[in-house]
Amino acid sequence: MDSSSSPCPLDRELSSQIAALLASPSSQSIQDFHDELIRLRECHGLKLKYDKEVGKGVYANKEFKEGELILKDQMLVAAQHSSNKVDCLVCSKCFRFIGSIELQIGRKLYLQSCGLSSKRDCTYKAFSCASEEGCAEFSEDEENDIMENYNDLGSSSSNLKTHTLSEEMLKSLINGDLSLPYTKNFGLPPVIKCPGGCEEEHYCSKLCADSDWESVHSLLCTGQSSASSPAAMVKFLEHANGTNDIFILAAKMISFTILKYRKLKQLHFEDCKLHNKLGETDDSRFLMLLEAWKPISMGFKKRWWDCIALPDDVDPCNEASFRAQIRDLAFTSLQLLKDAIFDNECAPLFSLEVYGHIIGMFELNNLDLVVASPVEDYFIYIDEFPSPEKEEAEIHTRPFLDSLGDEYSVCCQGTAFFPLQSCMNHSCAPSAKAFKRDEDRDGQAVILACRPISLGEEVTISYIDEDLPYEERQAQLADYGFKCRCPKCSEEEP
């Protein structure tokens, strides 16, 4: 789609600055940036190679055994799916589960009993009860209450619904007045509130809270200490939650860039004062914006509405109008974001062209964020107990397990952009895979060797189910915008 027909005036007014932001970095700066990332991640077994033909690729700088850890990559930005926020309370920075097993169970059942899922009102209500972690044991009366509720429903556990557990009981679980047996073996970090006073984000530590506040959240917070307009931000978030939460990631990326730019500007100002140098100029300000934008400039990207796969239910004859609708949707989201956090010195970030490329970068590179639930571990632990301890524990746990039903094991789900993992090319016979081990309980990407990898070999992952037949693989990879040239495809190509 031609950008001259863009509905966004900034696309025309700031075209030269936008072109500079979206230009490919030099091969030397790509190399230097990723060498530094590899050093910071301490994954010295890897090397990034850049080739004008195939772009970036990750290569083994040592031999890897099958199953060996290749990379743990920290996300640049990530977000929990809004619908998943009802199921799991996690740190908004590192995505560890927080609070307690009781809080996780009580909060989820309470929200379900409100009859709401990802609705903001309900989330606020529950968060307000979810403040403290406690460890009181069941009293005899409470125990009887639970069993009464349980027995009232007869023997069929499938009949049990959340409303059989009273609101009081769920609130006691949430606020720590009621505790379940053996949960001390499943300790979780405490719930730290957002420093800006919003009830949307929670953290596992002050370190995570402060780091998120300084790098991203202070502009996106809807609390009283927000650095933006909370009412406008609520409108933006509501639109994103109701349409596509990829917009929340894009907002985080823009916020990250603005805050970084402001830090660079402050440092520049102090440096000028110290050395009696001339202050900022338009040029020096734009150079600082380019520097703040650098991590995004390195990502592989195309405009969202150009690269998004055509859904199966859209007739190819209507492709142009589908892509125009996607662009309009992005423009609506961008205007809402602009109302909340616009910064004139960072104006090019609010052009539709830049917004479209940021979202397109997520569309083409994002990895699912998955963190296993400690609630699942807890119920499995109880289930594996020998008799009679198992039956004794189940007197307390069974009503909650039955109320949770199949949902007891829902993990934290979201989406994230990882700067190094996203440089890994696809192969239908990959040498590595993204796979969380038992000990990987946060949102980092974990890449393991799925066969021995020799020194100098490319580390590849599969973006799709590589066991599909050739034609289906190509069809799925076409959605990623490329024809696979891996050895397996070259061999199987008819």
Ligand X SMILES: C[S@@+](CC[C@H](N)C(=O)[O-])C[C@H]1O[C@@H](n2cnc3c(N)ncnc32)[C@H](O)[C@@H]1O
Report the residue from 34, 47, 56, 323 that binds ligand X according to the rule CB under 6 A.
56
User: Taking the complex as a whole, how short is the minimal distance between the CB of residue 425 and ligand X, in angstroms?
Assistant: 4
What single-letter DSSP state applies at residue 302?
A: -
Within 10 angstroms of residue 41's Cβ, the number of other Cβ atoms is: 16
User: Taking the complex as a whole, how short is the minimal distance between the CB of residue 426 and ligand X, in angstroms?
Assistant: 4
* Token pair 């590849």: residue: 460
Pick between residue 84 and residue 421 the one whose CB is nearest to ligand X. 421
Report the residue from 206, 273, 390, 485 that binds ligand X according to the rule CB under 6 A.
485
Question: Is residue 482 at the binding interface for ligand X, with CB under 6 A as the rule?
Answer: yes
Report the residue from 38, 109, 259, 364 that binds ligand X according to the rule CB under 6 A.
364
Q: DSSP per residue over 153-173, as a string?
A: T-S-GGG--GGGS-HHHHHHH
Report the residue from 365, 373, 462, 474 that binds ligand X according to the rule CB under 6 A.
365
Write out the binding residues for ligand X, residues 289-318 only, by CB under 6 A: 300
Contacts of 422 (CB under 8 A, 6+ apart): 299, 300, 365, 366, 367
Are 133 and 100 in contact, with CB atoms under 8 Å apart?
A: yes
CA–CA separation, 17 and 334 (whole Å): 18
Looking at residue 360, its amino acid is G
CA–CA separation, 443 and 159 (whole Å): 36
Pick between residue 385 and residue 482 the one whose CB is nearest to ligand X. 482
CA–CA separation, 244 and 332 (whole Å): 12
User: Taking the complex as a whole, how short is the minimal distance between the CB of residue 388 and ligand X, in angstroms?
Assistant: 54
Question: Is residue 260 at the binding interface for ligand X, with CB under 6 A as the rule?
Answer: no
Residue range at the interface with ligand X (CB under 6 A); choices 50-58, 140-148, 289-297, 406-414: 50-58
Write out the binding residues for ligand X, residues 424-463 only, by CB under 6 A: 425-427
Question: Is residue 55 at the binding interface for ligand X, with CB under 6 A as the rule?
Answer: yes
Region label for 80, one of left (φ > 0), alpha (ψ between -120 and 50) or beta (otherwise): beta
User: Taking the complex as a whole, how short is the minimal distance between the CB of residue 302 and ligand X, in angstroms?
Assistant: 8
With CA atoms as reference, report the closest residue to 191 among 213, 170, 176, 179.
Answer: 176
Reduced to 3 states (helix: H, G, I; strand: E, B; else coil), residue 480 is coil
Two structure tokens written together for 41: 């991640």
User: Taking the complex as a whole, how short is the minimal distance between the CB of residue 301 and ligand X, in angstroms?
Assistant: 9
Question: Is residue 486 at the binding interface for ligand X, with CB under 6 A as the rule?
Answer: yes
- Name the closest residue to ligand X (Cβ): 55
Residue range at the interface with ligand X (CB under 6 A); choices 74-82, 211-219, 282-290, 422-430: 422-430
Binding site for ligand X (CB under 6 A): 54-57, 300, 364-365, 422-423, 425-427, 480-482, 484-486
